[in-house]
Each structure stands twice: as structure tokens, then as C-alpha cells.
Structure 1
């Protein structure tokens, strides 16, 4: 259930909303199983993709809210009848959520890591046994919907200046990432996206990061950048990038070598970061860093497992 935090916030704001989730797919479809959107009478957020499919699903979701119904299943072919040419098919589950329903989901996810519920009236009384492992984010079987909270890849952004903030804002909506933004200046951590975790000390945040984290070093202080790189090379991490020019990196390589790090160790940090073809505007740099990050094999593999 990759959108649970968004779901909780939407219910707190709107009292009751309808959630539309792609429960299963067949053939070519705009989005994978697990993609979801939230719908209320005068608005919506998220996306299941597909234009006409999403428009029809939003209408069905608002109808469900107006009727006071609990859940509905839509089986939709993505062909000429819908004005789409994907050629595949999807099963959509639409559910009404209020505060009680959100807490029910939270309890199930907390205690077992999965939330199984009967959607179709003719389904059996107990959840079916499946062959899907914990890595499968969603399972639709015999009228039951089973969703899990998949692990998110930790991304530690050290520095909340123009580039760091732009990158954090860009990555924050992605449900497969857990973004931490660290900066010692309190004013730089105000008005963050709800899913960004603030940290008031980049060095402390680095020290407590999991070994699977990716670190992006974009602080306002070259001495702090160097210390972060130095400490990072003493521990495990999934990936690391440092903002700066080729000249800055040449100086850093010399200083890191003087601190006892080998060339092989130092090469674990990428510098410069971003895509020079996109320009030097903070958002352009952030865009290049985000694109490179999302291409990392570990993140792509995790995303495939979660939507399997």
C-alpha cells in the first residue's frame, strides 16, 4: 500500500474519500498494479494513468461516495470502447475510506505487514493462500485484495539549499523512496513536503543512516562536504554523489587520499552530479540527479518486486 501516508492525510482533510487502486493488470497498461488515486467530491490526487480510464474511474469513485457504498470492482478493457489503444485490461478496486477504515488498515499493516480484505460479496470468508512473497505490493485473488507496505529506498540529501530543496521536492512524491533532508539551518527546513523527513545535523543524519541509503551531498560549506565524504567512506552505502566542479573534485580526491582513503574507495563517490546538458539552474541539476538516481539497478529492481 504505497500511498498510505497520502491516504491518511486525505481522510483527515476530507473526512471520507474514495481510493481507486489497480488491483491487477493483463497485457499493456498505462500503470502497474498498485498504482492508486484518491478521489473526493471536488478533487482528486494521484494517478492510475490512461486519460479516459482515469476519468471514468474518478466518476465511478464519486458515485460510490454519493451512494454511501463500501467498495466496487471495475474490470476494464483498454480498447476502442474506452477510447484507448493500450490493448490490455485492468481490474480496479474502488473503496470508501473514513477515519475508522484508515485505522483498520494501519493496525493490520503494523501487526502483519499486510492488509487483506474481502471486496466482492461472493468471496470466501478467509483470505486465500497465495504464492506471492512479501515483496509483492498487491495481490488480487478470489475477490480478496491484499496489500503490503513495501520497503522504501532511503535517500539522504545533505544540504537544503537551492539544489537540495529542489531535489527533495522532486523525489518526495515518489512512493518507493524515503527522503531525508538534512541541514543545520532551521529556516531551510520549513514548509517541507509532508513525506520529507527533516534532520538538523547532516553529520548526525549520515551516522544514523542505514547501509542501504543513497547520499547526495549538496551543502553550502565545502569543509562540511569534505567531512561528509570522509565519514561516508568509512561505512557502507548504496550510492553517493557530491555537487561540484571537476576542479573541486580533484582537490577533494587529494584531501581524501591524504586522510587515508584509497583511489578505489574515493571512486565510490560520484562528482560532479547531474546532467551538464540540462544546465546549471538548481531545478535542472536536481532533475539530472533524480533521473540518475531512479536508474540505479537496486531501485529499479525493488520497484519491479513491489509491483509484481
Structure 2
């Protein structure tokens, strides 16, 4: 696959990659300026000449992916002195991060608010998994980059998300909401957890979660009601905009931080919405 086809496919999937380009060549080098290579966490597409140069470029690109870097980077390599390649020239590489989702989001529920929210999330630098047991609740057209998941074992999908994920729960069933809440809080490695509902619903859920042995510190990180208080209204799209705003504020505040420390940047945000 050519680098441009690979890049288009990875962008469509929302998979992080780094585009590596030779922008300067001096002396004898394995490839000319303009040569490109696309590097993902486990694959490469095309080549910038092979050998130790390509190995070092792949290593640096994967470090950028792992750290979720969004910054372009220039690196000069002396092929003979530092890399031991026989051509002996020098080259400058440009590293450009591409397709790096700022948030991996699981949305549970394809009801009216979910149908208003998911297209908003899909337009952001986010990778969205939309989950419901009811096939007929999903719209005919799913936004590009959104993965639709239909299955009876909805709670099992919690474990399929990577550490530092965002979870939004808005299903049709309060008991299912409770089971999802327990599974998400037990993981403890979430960057954001929002549960649709009122303050009364939160009090009832906290009581039941205490009975299951959930820690107060984890329950304190749950956003219920969720959404930004400034965005008023109870129409599905108004609630969706409020939730999307809180997601944006959260990933802008916490991007690159280690969510495993148990502190959520949500605590720094505005008070929760008063929606019921």
C-alpha cells in the first residue's frame, strides 16, 4: 500500500500514525528528499531507505505515538558517524503526527440524546464506539469514524476500552446504567465518566454502589448530572452540546496526563448541569 493510501485509511479509522518525510539530503543517502514513510504502533508503509536510519525513525515515531505527541519534529541524522551506514551522508527527517485521537470514547445508548451526541463527538478528534443492544435504535447512517456495536452483553464492552478512555452512559434501562457504572468505576482508569440523569438518580446509585464496596473517591469522579451548566435546555441536541462541551474541556485539560493517578481533570471544570 502506498503511503498516501495508508494515511487515508488510517485517518478514516482514527488510528494514530506518524508521517516521516526526508526533507533534506547531503552527500550519499539511501533515498532522495521527498521520500515518505507512514509509521503506526505496529506497521510501516513504504520506506525511507531501510537500515539503521529507518529503524531509528520508526523508533522515534512510535515514541511519539505512545506519548500521544501532537507536535511536528525535525531530526538530523549523520548516516556514517552516528548510524554506521556505509553511504555516509546526512539527512533531515520531518515527523508529523497524524490521526491521534485526543479521546477514546464509549457511548452506551442509542436513544434520542445518543443520536444527537454521537455526530458531535465524531466531528472532534475522538475515536467513538457506540454501543447498544437494540439494533433498531441506531440511525441508518452512522457517522464516519464511529464504530457501531450491537450485542446483548453490553457491560462486557467496558473491558474492551483502553486505559484513559471516556465513558458516557445513557441507556434505556436504569439497572443497566447501574451495572455499567459499577464496571467503569471498578476499572478506575477512566479519564472521564458521565452518567445521564438527575441528582436524585446519583444519590440512589451512590447508595447501591456503596453496598457493593465501591470507594467514595471513585464515585466522586462520576459526572451525574453531566454536562456544562452554562448550556441550558432539555432538547436532545441541547443536552448533547452540553455533554460534548464537557468532553472537550476535559481532554483539553488532561491531554497527555496520566489518568492512572486517580485524579480527573473534570473536578477542575464548571459545576454539573442541573438537568433531570
Structure 1 residue 217: deviation in Å? 0.6
Question: How many residues matched?
Answer: 202
Could you say which residue in structure 2 is the equivalent of 1:117? 21
Q: For structure 2, list consecutive stretches of 5 or more residues without a partner in the other structure.
A: 34-47, 76-90, 258-276
Structure 1 residue 163: deviation in Å? 1.1
Could you say which residue in structure 2 is the equivalent of 1:232? 184
Structure 1 residue 269: deviation in Å? 1.0
Alpha-carbon distance between aligned partners in 1 of 2:10 and 2:226, rounded to the nearest angstrom = 41
SS in 2 for 1:234: helix
Could you say which residue in structure 2 is the equivalent of 1:264? 217
| Mapping 1:1-308, distance limit 5 Å | 102-103=4-5, 105=7, 113-117=17-21, 125=32, 134=64, 135-139=69-73, 146-149=95-98, 151-152=100-101, 153-175=103-125, 177-189=126-138, 190-201=140-151, 202-236=154-188, 237-276=190-229, 277-296=231-250, 301-302=255-256
Structure 1 residue 105: deviation in Å? 4.2
Alpha-carbon distance between aligned partners in 1 of 2:20 and 2:181, rounded to the nearest angstrom = 44
Could you say which residue in structure 2 is the equivalent of 1:49? none
- TM-score computed with the length of structure 2 as normaliser: 0.61
Alpha-carbon distance between aligned partners in 1 of 2:244 and 2:157, rounded to the nearest angstrom = 20
Contact 1:108 1:115 in 2 (8 A): no
Contact 2:20 2:96 in 1 (8 A): yes
- TM-score computed with the length of structure 1 as normaliser: 0.55
Distance verdict in 2 for CA 1:100–1:209, change over 3 Å: closer
SS in 2 for 1:264: helix
Structure 1 residue 146: deviation in Å? 3.6
Structure 1 residue 224: deviation in Å? 0.5
Q: For structure 1, list consecutive stretches of 5 or more residues without a partner in the other structure.
A: 1-98, 304-308
Distance verdict in 2 for CA 1:150–1:191, change over 3 Å: closer
Distance verdict in 2 for CA 1:167–1:248, change over 3 Å: same
SS in 2 for 1:261: coil
Contact 1:183 1:200 in 2 (8 A): yes
Structure 1 residue 149: deviation in Å? 3.2
Alpha-carbon distance between aligned partners in 1 of 2:173 and 2:210, rounded to the nearest angstrom = 20
Contact 1:157 1:181 in 2 (8 A): yes
Structure 1 residue 226: deviation in Å? 0.7
Structure 1 residue 263: deviation in Å? 2.3
Please tell me the root mean square deviation across aligned C-alpha atoms, in Å: 3.6
